[in-house]
Structure 1
Amino acid sequence: MSIITWIVLGALAGWIASMIVGKNSEMGAFANVCIGIAGAFIGGFIFNMATGVGFTGFNVWSLVVATVGAVILLLIINAFQKTRHDKMDQPVNR
Structure 2
Amino acid sequence: MTLTLTAVIVWLIIGAVAGWLAGLIMRGAGFGLIGNIVVGIVGAVIGGWVFAQFGIIMEGIIGQIIGAVVGAVILLFIIGLIKRA
TM-score (norm 2): 0.85
1:15 maps to 2:20 = yes
Aligned to 2:66: 64
Task: Structure 2 unaligned segments of length 5 or more: list them.
Answer: none
Aligned pairs for 1:30-45 (under 5 A) are 30-45=34-49
Aligned pairs for 1:45-56 (under 5 A) are 45-54=49-58, 56=59
Q: CA deviation at 1:23?
A: 5.1
**CA distance in 2 between partners of 1:75 and 1:63 (Å):** 18
Query: How many percent of aligned residue pairs carry the same amino acid?
Result: 38
**CA distance in 1 between partners of 2:28 and 2:82 (Å):** 15
Name the aligned partner's letter for residue 51 of structure 1. G
**CA distance in 2 between partners of 1:52 and 1:20 (Å):** 22
Q: CA deviation at 1:82?
A: 1.2
Aligned pairs for 1:55-94 (under 5 A) are 56-57=59-60, 59-83=61-85
Q: CA deviation at 1:52?
A: 3.7
| Count of residue correspondences | 80
Find the partner of 1:28 among 32, 57, 61: 32
* CA-based RMSD: 1.6
Task: Structure 1 unaligned segments of length 5 or more: list them.
Answer: 84-94
Aligned to 2:10: 5
